[in-house]
Structure 1
Amino acid sequence: MTVSDDDVVFLRSRYGSKALDVAAEFPLTSASLLGDLTKLRSRYPEHAAALVETVRARRRAAGKLAYADALLADDNAVQQATATPVAALRAAEIARRHPGALVHDLTCSIGAELTTLAAAPGIGAVIGSDLDPVRLAMAQHNLSLVGGTAPTLLRADALTPTSTAEVFIADPGRRNSGGRVFGIDQLDPPLLELLAVYAGRPMVVKCSPGLDYQHLRTRFGFEGQVQIVSLDGGVREACLWTDSAGQPANRASVLRSRPDGTTSLYEVTSDDPDDLGAPGVGEWIVDPDGAVVRAGLVRQYGYRHGLVQLDPQIAYLTGSAVPAGERGFRVIEQLPVHERTLRSALAARDCGSLEVLVRGLDVDPDRLRKRLKLKGSEPYALILTRIGRQGVAFLCEPGVRAATRD
């Protein structure tokens, strides 16, 4: 569903606000959508689709974006928007590197990142620009939720410099009419053009977590810092920083939500020591956070926590304890990767539920679980990997998360 300029004007009005309250009372699920939309059209014939789109976007934004219950947004914008804790981390880093700077978000969309930048201490002023007038109108509303001095909003092409800002941010679009795109030349605007237009100026570009940044370095000569960010176990983005002087080449930033609503952070960088002991099998197997793995910093993480690798080419770590806040699996026995052997071992232990983790082998966890025909009642975990060229299986107790120290 699309939202028009007229829709945004309506949604921002007092009458539109009440209409959104009415729409929020409908389930708006796939099964009910047609009937819900028909009822809303009987009351708001010109704006029913926009009401549905906005309410569903707010529901998707819940737990991801600040002010989710009052945002004006569409589904695609919410999907691409940076989660508030991740945006806050970036804003704090910009303020640390460039205190008092004027920051220009070149692809501000609905203003999700702008709201965080505007509220961040240490940032001087904020500009947001976008080509889409509807998204800009949404951003204007969303920024009004924050209070204080609102950022300046401009309608402008990201590839046409329109300000003398000291730091630029861009989040190129990763969807087109055919769905999600993955090539750096398919982004909107294209990544290499962005980097060329703003060459020599501090720039931060948010990219998909699956970005092949090694290819970007070796093929296209990118020399900045690559920061991989995860939130609550999910890798959210690869962030490119062009002002990399004195900074490590790679950085993993791991954010975790606390029960009190705050967020914890730890980081691992390519400047950290990585001299690990000889590979082996310890009491526990630890699967590092995805940001650490994607950033290529497993050895640095292992050194910090006194762990070693099962194999030098595999990202599983092992040792006598699980790092605070991390999830580990206590090893019961090592087995060959033979289905008959695994089925027999699991049956002997009355296994009824099984978490399967795979790294380094071509195994589908769901298909394997079905073929193992579990009939018991006890939970276990099975880690399938390789040591050298040999596939190995580790039957483990269910994964547990070590207590945090904060």
Structure 2
Amino acid sequence: MTYDLSEGDVAFLRSRYGSKALEFAAELQVTPSTLVADLGQLRARYPEHFAAVAEVTAARRRAVGKLRYADQLLADDDAVQQATAAPVAALRAADIASLHHGALVHDVTCSIGAELTALAAEPGIGGVIGSDLDHIRLAMAQHNLSVAGGTGPRPTLLRADALTVTSTADLVIADPGRRNTRGRVFGIDQLDPPLLELLSVYAGRALAVKCSPGLDYRNLRTRFGFDGQVQVVSLDGGVREACLWTEVPGLPENRASVLRTMSDGRPRLYEVTSGDPDALDDPGVDEWIIDPDGAVVRSGLVRQYAHRHGLRQLDPQIAYLTGDHVPVGERGFRILEQLPVTEKVLRGALAARKCGSLEILVRGLDIDPDRLRKKLKLKGAEPYALVMTRIGRQGVAFLCEPGIRAT
């Protein structure tokens, strides 16, 4: 359960004594087996603020690998979960600098300042404003910005409602809350603030709204008349968000942005857009099956991606692709044999190859991979992959070598 920090908690944590308390807490294990003892130590040392120290310590650990300066942040668990991962925020900042060079940017839901940090570090941005209704989060943002430093202009912070226009910034960023007391929400009217209200308040102004990657953007276009760009972003194979861009002329309707962290820690980016060519050879089956990144699939750009890499589809309605090679950086499965989708046949084929571990990928069929794996009763030692889909109305399974990522 997340602990809600008070104004007094944040003031303490920003002090020299609070810093020492967080250093002490960082040395504790805080595992299920040590939790009671660890909290007892914190309560004995910091009776008024022990819960806040524990909350921030847990939030810092969650932020490792997601946010910059994770070990120095002031944040609660909810704020870290909502915060945009640093490479995604940096990509957006670079986009803004390219589209609106020298712009004044206003993040109207700035929370603990994760996005502000990326904006302030981007040299092509002229100025940054951050606002939020939660004065506790603003106090944490002030601390986090001081930790991050940067060579650009220091962001200006103010307390304001996101649905009240408080600046004449060239571009507005909003990140509506996607959680309530019952957990994650998905409807556009359940966001906080509601998506349609945001689009209405800032109509006619350049706006970037971060939404859940599961956003039904087709419904947003057809039912509500949204005519901007939908950018779906993934990071290291996980789809992170759908960002809606308005009032930026010339942008293609859909864009997939795929970020991969390289061995040196730097992100590598490739993008596919609805403005790219999408002509393909007729569907068929070749040597390899390629499962495109989730950002490409969710943005409806599978054909454009396939055209770029000389691939084709197994079926026009299915996102799996096939070809005689695997694009660099992508994952592919070399086909060994094609099988019908029946448990008896699959069990026999896997037993003949002494299969002991099996990765199962499914598209277009109502099959639970975990339940199927148990029914197949694997007893060997060899690893394989099973790609299950349909071609036309016929279910089909491809027994493959284990997946590889092309280099």
C-alpha deviation, 1:30, in angstroms:
3.3
TM superposition shift of 1:178: 1.5
Name the counterpart of 2:137: 135
1:171 matches 2:171 = no
Q: 2:59 aligns with which of 53, 57, 60?
A: 57
Instruction: For 1:18 and 1:236, locate their aligned partners in 2 and report how far apart those are by CA, in whole Å.
Output: 34
Deviation at 1:163, TM superposition (A): 0.7
> Partner letter of residue 167 of structure 1?
L
- Indicate yes or no: 2:234 matched with 1:221: no
Q: How much does 1:233 deviate?
A: 0.4
* Aligned-partner SS, 2:339: strand
Q: How does 1:5-404 map to 2 (within 5 A)?
A: 5-147=7-149, 148=151, 149-403=153-407
TM value normalised by structure 2: 0.98
Determine if contact 1:2/1:49 at 8 Å carries over to the other structure. Answer: no
- Shift, 1:146, TM fit: 2.1
Residue 300 of structure 1 and its aligned partner are, at CA, apart by: 0.3
In 2, Cα distance between equivalents of 1:156 and 1:247: 30
Deviation at 1:275, TM superposition (A): 0.6
Letter in 2 for 1:297: L
Q: Describe the superposition over 1:41-72 as per-residue Cα deviations: whole angstroms up to 9, x where unpaired.
A: 01100111111110110011000001111000
Q: Which amino acid letter does the alignment assign opposite residue 355 of structure 1?
A: E
1:145 counterpart SS class: helix
Aligned counterparts of 1:43 and 1:244: Cα–Cα separation in 2: 54
Once the two structures are superposed, residues 96-123 of structure 1 have per-residue CA deviations (whole angstroms, 9 ceiling, x without a partner) of 1101010000000000000010010110
Displacement of 1:2 in angstroms is 1.6
In structure 2, C-alpha distance between the alignment counterparts of 1:372 and 1:215, rounded to whole Å: 40
Residues 253 and 265, structure 1, Cα contact 8 Å, conserved in 2: yes
Which secondary structure does the structure 1 equivalent of 2:335 belong to? strand
Give the 3 Å change call, closer, same or farther, for CA 178–309 of structure 1 in structure 2.
same
Which letter maps to 1:74? D
Q: Distance in 2 between matches of 1:168 and 1:260?
A: 33
Structure 1 gap segments, 5+ residues each:
none
Report the CA distance between 1:279 and its aligned residue.
0.4
- Matched pairs, number: 403
**What letter matches 1:344 in structure 2?**
G
1:252 and 1:267 in contact (8 A); partners too: yes
**Offset of 1:179 from its aligned partner?**
1.2
Whole-angstrom CA distance in 1 between matches of 2:98 and 2:171:
12
Q: Distance in 1 between matches of 2:34 and 2:80?
A: 22
1:27, CA displacement in angstroms?
1.5
Give distance in 1, aligned partners of 2:183 and 2:33. 23
User: Following TM superposition, by how much is the alpha carbon of 1:35 offset from its aligned partner in structure 2, in angstroms?
Assistant: 2.5
C-alpha separation in 1, matches of 2:384 and 2:161: 54
Q: Is the 8 A contact 1:130 1:157 kept in 2?
A: yes
